[in-house]
Amino acid sequence: MQEHGIKMGRDALFDLLSANNLLVRNRKRKVTTTNSFHWLRKYPNLIRDFVPVAPNQLWVSDITYWKIKSGHVYISFVTDVFSHKIVGYHVAETLESVETIKALKMALSDIYSDPASCFELIHHSDRGVQYCQHNYVKLLKDNKVKISMTENGDPLENAVAERINGIMKDEYLLDKTVKDIKQAKRVLKEVVSLYNEDRPHNSIENHVPNYVHESKLVTKKLWNNYYKRRDVIETVDC
């Protein structure tokens, strides 16, 4: 709209989308991916009021499910908050922590060439057993990554990760017909590349994640106000 010289406020935009039935309705969550009722150590939230000013200062992680023809599969994402780039991902048929670790290893592989960049990196997640598991925590500590976790069930404590889950499922995966895990891996690789390289975000001045990540461009949000929970999921990234 900005490229075509059209000026419209957020409220007017969503009224227009609603009038034309273009808003995406809330999905009914049927699959639980987080089990925080366990004996493993849980870590405090380190990122309240923390705003990264460069890539690889704050990563957020989360797990979501994806319904395919053979059943449900589970996707682990690791996202850089500064650039909104998905830096690690993995899809598997189970919720075992060994699968989640693969997404983290992918993310870490990109910064092994510059070990110093890990020293100020914070990894933030929910308190799910996958993120508290010994091998996952050890991998973070071995790479001198600080560990941060949510402290309650409020999705705003891990808002960027929740937002990425919604974008990937609603905008990229919802209309894909996938028959098995092998095809799911291939499709996920394609859509993550498309997201990182082609999807602009209002939260990074309508740039795409890869460009902001590689250029370390400091951006500002075009919209600063946030809505509370609504009956529909907003279709424009905030």
Decide if pLDDT at 194 tops 70.
yes
Residue 156 lies in a domain: yes
Q: Are 178 and 186 in contact (CB under 8 A)?
A: no
Which segment of 46-60, 105-119, 146-160, 185-199 scores lowest on mean pLDDT? Answer: 105-119
CATH number, domain containing residue 72: 3.30.420.10
More confident site: 35 or 132:
132
Decide if pLDDT at 236 tops 60.
no
- As a whole number, mean pLDDT of residues 96-110 equals 92
Decide if pLDDT at 238 tops 60.
no
Tell me the backbone φ, ψ of residue 13, rounded to 5 degrees: -60, -45
More confident site: 40 or 125:
125
Structure tokens at 209: 């994640």
Residue 28 lies in a domain: no
Residue 89 lies in a domain: yes
**pLDDT class of 41 with cuts at 50, 70, 90:** confident
Q: Domain total for the chain?
A: 1
Residue 72 lies in a domain: yes
pLDDT single digits (tens) 150-193: 988 677 889 999 999 999 999 999 889 999 999 999 999 999 99
- Alpha-carbon span 151 to 172, nearest angstrom: 30
**pLDDT class of 115 with cuts at 50, 70, 90:** low
Would you state the pLDDT for residue 59?
97
Residue 84 lies in a domain: yes
More confident site: 165 or 233:
165
Would you state the pLDDT for residue 152?
81
pLDDT single digits (tens) 13-35: 777 877 887 776 665 555 554 54
Cβ neighbours around 180 below 10 Å, total: 13
Residue 9 lies in a domain: no
pTM of this structure: 0.79
Most confident of 12-16, 107-111, 228-232: 107-111
Residue 149's closest CA among 123, 129, 130?
123
Residue 222 lies in a domain: no
Exposure letters 3-25 (e unless 16+ CB within 10 A, then b) = eeeeeeebeebbeebeeeeebee
Angle at 64 between CA 63 and CA 65, to 5 degrees: 135
Would you state the pLDDT for residue 155?
75
Residues facing 60 on adjacent strands: 79, 124
Would you state the pLDDT for residue 231?
41
Residue 207 lies in a domain: no
Q: Which residue has the tokens 């935009």?
A: 13
